[in-house]
Amino acid sequence: MQIGIIGLGRMGSNMASRLNNDNHEVYAYDRDPDIRSGMLRSSPNITILDSLEDLASSLPSPRVIIVMVPSGNPTEATISALSDVLEKNDIIIDGGNSNYKDSMRRSADLQHQGIRMIDAGISGGIWGLDQGYCLMVGGAADTVKIAEPIFRSLAPTPQSGYAHVGDIGAGHFTKMIHNGIEYGLMQAYAEGFELMSAKDLFQLDLAQIAEVWRHSSVIRSWLLDLTAAALNDDIDLASIEPWVEDSGEGRWAIEESVDLAVPVPVMAMALQARFRSRDQSQFGFKLLAAMRNQFGGHSIRRKK
C-alpha cells in the first residue's frame, strides 16, 4: 500500500520505518529540513518529500496520509494546510494525542470537501518500531476498512493490538482514558518504591525488587519492566529532577469525569500528584519522570 506520513519525530519516524519494513511504500514529510535530511540518510527506502504539495502529488487516489505532529495548534494547522492539497475521498489519519472533540469537529469540517478522516489513538511510544503499537481507531467503517492494512502492519501482529472502536472521535476518546489509567498505574508504582526507599532499616535494593516483581508477580506489567530498567540504569535517580509533565490527556479525562459525573479518584489524584511534583523533591516523582522517559522517550530534567 502507498502511504503518506507527516511528522517524523520519535513516533512518526518509527512508524514510517515499521510500515516500510512491512513492504508498504512510504512517502514522508516533515517541516524541519534537518529532520528530512536525517530520515533520508537513515531510511533510503522511504521517499522524503519537501512539501505537502509534493507529498499529495506522489500518492495515488484515494490518498491515505497519517498526521503525526503534536496535538493542538500544530495538528490544526497541518490538517488545514493538508486539506488544501487533497481531493474528494482522500483520507487523513490523525495519529497524535488530539482531544476527541477536536477530532469530531475537524472531521465535520473536512466532510464539506469530501475528505474523510480517521482518529487513531496510538500507544507504544519509542518501542513501537520493534514491538508494534496498540491502535484504537475511530471513524466510518468503510473508511477504516481502506486504511486497515496500515493498522495491521503497525500493530504487534496482524491479529492483535488493533481495534476499530467506534465512530470518529472514539479512537482519541479511548486513548484519553488509556492515558488516564496510565497516570494511576505509574503513580502507584512510584509511591510504593518511594515508601521502600524511605525504609532505611532494611537498605532495600530497589532495582533487585523491581526485577523480582517482574516474574510471576500479581503486579507485573510492562511499566514495571521499564521501572526495573530505569532503576538498573541509576538506582538513586540522582541525575533526574523530580518534575513530571502531563501531556493533556489526563486533564481531559478528569474533565470528562466531571461532565459525566463518574468518579475517577485515582486518575484525579495521580494528575494532582504531577502538579505537586513541580514544587517538591521526592524520589517517587523522579521515578515517574524516569518511567515516562523509558516508555515514550519523553524529556526529563537533568540536574546540573
What's the pLDDT tens digit per position in 123-136? 999 999 999 999 99
CB 289 within 8 A of CB 240: yes
Which tens digits make up the pLDDT trace of 51-96?
Answer: 999 999 999 999 999 999 999 999 999 999 999 999 999 999 999 9
- In angstroms, the CA 166 to CA 141 distance is 8
104's enclosing H/E stretch is helix 100-111
> What three-state secondary structure class fits 63?
coil
Q: Is 175's pLDDT higher than 80?
A: yes
Mean pLDDT over each residue of the chain, to the nearest integer: 95
Contacts 24+ apart (CB under 8 A), 68-73: 68/5, 68/6, 68/7, 68/8, 68/9, 68/11, 68/12, 68/15, 68/95, 68/96, 69/6, 69/7, 69/9, 69/12, 69/96, 70/96, 71/96, 71/97, 71/98, 71/99, 71/102, 71/248, 72/98, 72/248
Task: Write down the domain spans for the chain.
Answer: 2-167, 175-296
Q: Which of 88, 145, 175, 241 is catalytic?
A: 175
Q: Which of 53, 145, 182, 245 is catalytic?
A: 182
Whole-Å CA distances, 18 to 113, 131, 212, 280? 31, 10, 32, 40
Q: Is 304's pLDDT higher than 80?
A: no
Q: Is 276's pLDDT higher than 90?
A: no
Q: Is 280's pLDDT higher than 70?
A: no
Across 47-57, b (16+ Cβ under 10 Å) vs e yields bbbeebeebbe
Q: Does domain 2-167 have CATH number 1.10.357.10?
A: no
Percentage of residues in the chain with pLDDT exceeding 90? 84
Confirm whether pTM is higher than 0.85.
Answer: yes
For domain 175-296, the CATH architecture is: Orthogonal Bundle (1.10)
- In angstroms, the CA 10 to CA 31 distance is 15
175 is catalytic: yes
Q: Which of 32-36, 232-236, 244-248 has the highest mean pLDDT?
A: 32-36
Which tens digits make up the pLDDT trace of 185-243?
Answer: 999 999 999 999 999 999 999 999 999 999 999 999 999 999 999 999 999 888 888 88
